[in-house]
Amino acid sequence: MTEHERSTWDEYFMRIARDVATRATCDRKHVGAVIVRDKSILATGYNGSIRGLGHCDDEGHMMEDGHCARTIHAEANAVVQAARTGVRIEGGSIYVTASPCWGCFKTIANAGLVKIVYGEFYRDERIFAFAQRIGIELVKYDVPGEGL
């Protein structure tokens, strides 16, 4: 992209999600999420510990079945942020730097989000079949010129 070209909306929101990921507090994986409706940002989230408790970066990981269980995932934190501030997200889209795990996918679906745009694929193939079954648009998108 030259300095005079405008970003597409997908590129714009994915770049913001990548920036949000820099706030993550688990060094195993930094993930950022941005919830959008009508080209407006409604909420953001990154993976981090329970509010008020120590972070992985400070206290170490809480490993269970090969995953760090200390953190709340970025997608869940974005949905929670919207709930805490009373922002309606139904009908919106979520931009996330890595595809949602199964638990986050279920949260996204029940929150009424209709589109998931993700950077890298992360672990769970089930999201593809279930997204199709329930009508959630699932889009792989890498920011041009940037590797994830």
Q: Catalytic positions, please?
A: 75
**Secondary structure (DSSP) of the chain:** --TTSPPPHHHHHHHHHHHHHTT---TT---EEEEEETTEEEEEEE-EEPTTS--HHHH---EETTEE-SEEPHHHHHHHHHHHHT---TT-EEEEEEPPPHHHHHHHHHTT--EEEEEE--S-THHHHHHHHHT-EEEE---TT---
